[in-house]
Amino acid sequence: MQNFQELGVSTKYEMIRLLRQFKDEYNINERDTKTSQARSRGASALAEEQEERTLEVPVERIRDYWEPIVGVSRPFEATAELAAWAEEQYPLYESGGLTEGDWKALFSKMKPRKATGPDGIRGFWWKHFQEAKEKLILWCVKALRKPKKIVPAWLCRGRVVLIPEKRRAHGSRRSQTDCVPQHVL
């Protein structure tokens, strides 16, 4: 036990920690030794080892296996079960839109001070101006029906710029929370 106390080990847990540390150091040294030995043999020795390990891939057997699965085109026939499943998955697209209650719930979740979209318009305006709300609903319904046609490509591009607000009264330093994010196209 005196030898362990010389190493600064007094408990069982310190002994386990020390053994793990020695084992890790040993593994690192062993890996470094193997790496340096492989490098001293040169690249040609590594290439020879890789040539010895090559596997013969039966390309023709693989092609023959997958050809009837992938290589043959067949007409698609929708079964009744598949059609019922598709109707269950996308009832909103087929019905033409959300109900009035759904739209109310969506607008109630919108935060008035946040500009949630790339347009930079805060939620307050979408909520309180009836004409803007109706146009937004109309645009969303069109986007649900024909997403690739109605959603412009530029809508996904852009960047966010932080514009500083007024300095705080007590003169503290400015941080990111003192800035308003603005979307710029």
Q: Is residue 27 part of a domain?
A: yes
- Residue 37, pLDDT above cutoff 80: yes
**How wide is the angle at C-alpha 168 spanned by C-alphas 164 and 174, nearest 5°?**
50
For 93-152, how does the pLDDT look when each residue is reduced to its tens digit (9 = 90+)?
Answer: 444 567 888 888 888 888 888 887 667 788 888 888 888 888 888 888 777 777 767 666
Q: Is residue 10 part of a domain?
A: yes
Give yes or no: residues 59 and 131 share one domain: no
Distance separating alpha carbons of residues 88 and 83, to the nearest angstrom: 9
Locus of tokens 């020879």? 48
Q: Please tell me the total count of domains within the chain.
A: 2
**3-class state of residue 85 by DSSP:** helix
Give yes or no: residues 62 and 131 share one domain: no
119: containing domain: 99-155
Q: What per-residue confidence (pLDDT) applies to 94?
A: 46
Kindly state the tokens that stand for 38. Answer: 């492989």
Give yes or no: residues 73 and 103 share one domain: no
Give yes or no: residues 5 and 72 share one domain: yes
